[in-house]
Amino acid sequence: MTKVKELAKMIDHSILHPTMTDEDLHRECTVAKKYDVASVCVKPYAVKQSVELLKGSDVLVGCVIGFPAGNSAIKVKVFETEVACKDGAVEIDMVINIGKALNGDWDYIEKEIGAVTQKCHENGAIVKVIFETDYVTKEEDIIKLCEICTKVGADYVKTSSGFGFVKDDDGKYSYTGATIPNLELMKKSVGPGVKVKAAGGIRTLDGLLAVQKAGCSRCGATATIKIMEDAMARFEK
């Protein structure tokens, strides 16, 4: 596999902004197909349409669950997962109940992740578990989440939704997303069967290479065109 192909197959092309229309979905699926990325990551209603748009390509269809704040009841997340899988999603990116994690209610978190993981695997899909590390910031909590994901058999741990905005003192919102220290911590805290996905703030080729070096197998991105065009310019000389 060439370096460019290797990097393309790390990218989950995110099509998740609330304002995106069907026309936007069509355009972004065309981008994903052109660069032959690993997958698209779409909103639940868009799964069927994305499957149709990507028919005949090697690009997989993934879907977000409990997105972006993770507040749905467990049975709702499980139902949402089942619908997405029945509609054709083969990858599921679920947001944990952030408040429960911050409260240290690990039994709830284990039950939640376990239930969604089981439903994914019953339907032949993989699951990526979003911690939202702009909110869940303590190392010990990130480690505990990694241990739970390993225990219940989740396929990936993932940093962020891309929408974990933190309100600053001036009333404005800021966002960090994936950081190398968090990715390295997650990589060393999961079992050998669990992979790591970076998401949030990776907008350049050097950013993608950095998260790859930190041990990530996948990376969420909206700046796919820039990343891939730069990769072709650098590695196909």
* Residue 68, preceding peptide bond in cis (omega within 30° of 0): yes
Which of 186, 188, 182, 185 minimizes the C-alpha distance to 200? Answer: 182
Catalytic, 119? Answer: no
**Residue of 119, 128, 158, 195 with catalytic role:** 158
**Residue of 12, 93, 141, 155 with catalytic role:** 93
Overall size of the chain counted in residues: 237
Output the CA–CA distances (angstroms, integers) from residue 186 to 68, 144, 156, 215, in the order listed: 21, 10, 10, 9
Measured CA to CA, the distance from residue 158 to residue 197 in angstroms comes to 5
Which of 223, 203, 210 minimizes the C-alpha distance to 182? Answer: 210
- Within 107-215, strands assigned E span 126-130, 156-158, 166-167, 173-174, 195-198
Contact 59, 5 (CB under 8 A): no
- Tell me the three state secondary structure of residue 21: coil
- Tell me the three state secondary structure of residue 157: strand
Catalytic, 33? Answer: no
Catalytic, 93? Answer: yes
Provide the b/e sequence for 122-139 (b: ≥16 CB within 10 Å). eeebbbbbbbbbbbbeee
Please give the positions annotated as active site.
93, 158, 197
